[in-house]
Chain A
């Protein structure tokens, strides 16, 4: 019964999404207020039914209802409770339902917090979100119904892929989707602005917090994925330039450009059509990501299930969405001209440079990701693009971007000059150069030129970020108030610096060794001595058996810790899985992974010493934190009360404010 209820709820949600799409848009077009007012009930109704449907699927997993095909394929009665819940989005059908649920959550948040938006504008935004929701609901019901029955029911399920039985991966997809889908809100705002033919500073002020929150979640989602790949895929890499990673990274790059361009649109009323184009791009890349992951055109860790029918549907959807959005853009964007200009050197120029470089970086990733697909599609042969391409070329646009970042932060709007900024920032510049050259030498040993440059860049970003607050502290006479918004920017940029520091030091100074190790033997890695003490082949977990090695780590004869890398075999899918033994510290990770039994009491073992690898994820967390601080700025809330006042009691409030 429950699965049928879930499917039925999904069908009702589909109908309501049509209501949500048609009436507000048509009402706003014809000026029919009654139709416009249908937006709120339609959104709420849709959210309730999507939530009900999602709840039914979770319930089927909790109850181990193996008469549901999706449950039977992705769960098992021995699966721990928490993973039975996360298995709901462990494969294609459920993750589509999760996507829809998150879209509903964003839509109802927009509806609930849009009381200060002009009624017609809010109606258009919700209408566009309704259209997107309709597309995804139709896709799910047509090609990927999670409630399809399995007759006769399976006795037990085929289990969740062991790789996904992990707390990091339980929350990685929801985080990522909140970010991905959040760009739908920015997209809907852009479409609504074009439909109205009006886009002012107030528009940017509404669109900004939504976009920034989506960006924060995407940042955290990508970081979580990277962290998971690092410890769970077992081999200690933190980023593989895998097409599916790229699929989440491209919207991030476009989204980062978008939040910067929105700043210019809000503060100066410039870059309007560029902002619109970025909003369209960011969401299109999110859709492209879905297409790449779910259509099966990619060879990837994530492409578990593949189905050409789905690929065709998403491709058609993608073409419709991007095509109509760009069509609308070509028609309406010329209406949204910016009147003012700006000086050759000014904050606007720096943000423009930031945008151009971010877009180039995005195109670099896009080229490497889509080229093999393109060649395959035209019958040009089967290529793949090696990660070295991305690693080498990605630096070309991002290094100048990072160097310009410090200057940009301290530039002023309209007109500025380089020598003023450089003069002001002499101290952090000098500190970055001196420390950038000496520190790696003193701590880690001879660096390459690229390493020195990258560390200088990282220190420069951090230094120029903290420069403002530090000067404020030192110089009591100057009353400089730093707004929440500025704090957000400062914190996020410090995050970027920490991230770059982590990436550079990890890539430059990691020690990596694969070798055969006999029981009782030791090996020296980066000053640590690792002794293979014993092996236990009879460890058993709730739904797996494991072989566990005991490895003692010591330094200068002093025993430090014992690590227990494992090789697990899950009982249902029989897949072996490597669980690395990791000693994580802020300044370095020691990483041991157990390979194969080689005979003669020897095992292949991977040793890794990874300095500052934690900074990579820490940097991402700080970036996201910066975004959240920026969103908490008063003016986004002040705007609320002000608009309310404007509409009625402007005269009354006049005396107070």
Chain B
């Protein structure tokens, strides 16, 4: 192989490598994009079944249920217009509490129950996730909720 051919080969190999890396990177990016849906949007059937997304709202007082001695817990989330039931098997964050605004990551199952992999409550008692604040505002104004 001449020096020139060798150089061409290296350039081609580098280009292929960069191409594969970019494809892989962008795919990972797309797969890990989590869209936010409000409880109203979930109830209206806008949210996908079996794909991971985020849902947020206020924890409805009196809906936090668990069997004595078991780690599994379920509760309802609301944006004051609709409700979605969330199931979670894990330790709830310190600031999880009835009436508090929280965000859950997970998937919707066939029964329309949101199975959470992660439940997030922020580290400030007065903090409201902006998504939740906005869906509450929209419900209040009677606008379309998303």
Contacts and interface: CB of A to CB of B under 8 A. Distances in A.
A308 to B, nearest CB: 12
Nearest to B24: A396
B2 interface: no
A595 B89 CA distance: 12
Interface residues of B, dominant DSSP? loop
B91 A385 contact: no
B50 interface: no
Q: How many of chain B's residues touch chain A, expressed as a range?
A: 35 or more
B140 to A, nearest CB: 18
Interface in B75-94: 89-92, 94
Contacts of A573: 125
User: Which of B33, B68, B70, B129 counts the most chain A CB atoms within 10 A?
Assistant: B33
Contacts of B21: 396-397
A393 B24 CA distance: 8
Nearest to A234: B94
Interface of B: 21, 24-25, 28-29, 31-36, 52, 54, 66, 68-71, 89-92, 94-95, 103, 105, 122-125, 127, 129-131, 146
B90 A514 contact: yes
Interface residues of A, number: 45
A163 B95 CA distance: 12
A385 B94 contact: no
A574 B124 CA distance: 10
B36 A385 contact: no
Interface stretch (A143-151, A597-605, A621-629): A597-605
Nearest to B72: A516
Contacts of B29: 367-368, 371, 385, 389, 393
Contacts of A163: 123
B36 A383 contact: yes
Contacts of B124: 161, 304
A604 B71 contact: yes
Interface string A377-395: 0000111111111001100
Nearest to B94: A576
A385 B33 contact: yes
Given A384-B54, A574-B125, A364 B70 contact: no
A284 to B, nearest CB: 23
A388 B123 contact: no
Given A386-B34, A392-B28, A516-B71, A575 B94 contact: yes
Interface string A168-179: 000000000000
B68 A602 contact: yes
26 contacts: A163-B123, A235-B91, A299-B122, A299-B129, A381-B36, A383-B33, A384-B33, A386-B33, A386-B52, A387-B32, A388-B28, A389-B28, A389-B31, A392-B24, A393-B24, A393-B25, A396-B24, A516-B69, A516-B71, A576-B95, A595-B71, A598-B71, A600-B68, A601-B69, A602-B70, A604-B91
